[in-house]
Amino acid sequence: MPQKSAGERELHEISAKLEELMQVVMQQFVGLKRGIDGSDFVLLKSIVAGDAKVDRIELDLDNLSMLFVAKRAPLGASLRFMFGAIDVAAALERIGDCIEYVARHIIESKELRDELPEGWHLLQDMTTKSFLVYERAMTALSNRDPKLAREVPAMDDLVDALQDQSYKLVIDKVRAGKLDVEMGIHMILMANKLESIADIACHMAQTVVYIVKDERIRHQQPAE
């Protein structure tokens, strides 16, 4: 088996670091889902603390990527991969921030579970569906599967619909005097972050198509 060149070894290191970042964010997301489903506030606190690890890995990956571009001046598929890796790493860091934000606000508004159980169930459902969008995007990226990546944006519609339900629920309950305004704001902010996660995951799926097929599909309307 021929030895890999220095550039190939560096690309492998970047790919491995990107995979590590994806898995750490996945662990954070799984923890968030379990924390909400089980009302496990100790677990949710660990999610808040764990965001620093996401930031460190993203910074390491960014440094590796920038150094590779400066040293190797890549072209073609290698250049697309580097642009994509930098883009995806930044997106993963943003998703990590959103997960931390939701965990922190769940802890600060734990009374929501009893005061607005239907709202709590909506948050559980939004967390599950945004997790599925993220998981599908990550599978597409790990497998370099543009066909799977193209399916991801349609999944975001389910999260958008749940966000709309959350808004309507909060507005109706606040107007009826059945929900404290501050608690309603917490609910809306968390729904916004969960919807943002799905949006960012869609962006990453579109980046997969660019990396593999050299095709930009952002802002394209789905075929009728």
pLDDT at position 224 is: 42
CATH fold of 6-213 reads Methane Monooxygenase Hydroxylase; Chain G, domain 1 (1.20.58)
* CB 102 within 8 Å of CB 194: yes
**Phi and psi, residue 82, nearest 5°:** -65, -45
Global pTM reads 0.91
pLDDT at position 221 is: 54
**Radius of gyration of the chain measured on its C-alpha atoms:** 19
pLDDT at 23 over 90: yes
The Cα–Cα gap between 61 and 13 comes to 9
pLDDT at position 217 is: 72
* CB 61 within 8 Å of CB 21: yes
Q: List pLDDT tens digits, range 29-65.
A: 999 999 999 889 999 999 999 999 999 999 999 999 9
Domain layout of the chain by residue ranges:
6-213
* CB 131 within 8 Å of CB 168: no
pLDDT at position 6 is: 85
Q: List pLDDT tens digits, range 179-215.
A: 999 999 999 999 999 999 999 999 999 999 999 988 8
Q: List pLDDT tens digits, range 121-142.
A: 999 999 999 999 999 999 999 9
CA dihedral 190, 192, 136, 82 (to 10 degrees): -110
Task: Compute the Cα dihedral for 93, 94, 97, 102 and give only its sign.
Answer: negative
DSSP state of 95: H
Q: List pLDDT tens digits, range 154-171.
A: 899 999 999 999 999 999
* CB 48 within 8 Å of CB 107: yes
Q: List pLDDT tens digits, range 77-131.
A: 888 888 898 999 999 999 999 999 999 999 998 898 999 999 999 999 999 999 9
Nearest to 197 by CA among 123, 118, 114, 116: 123
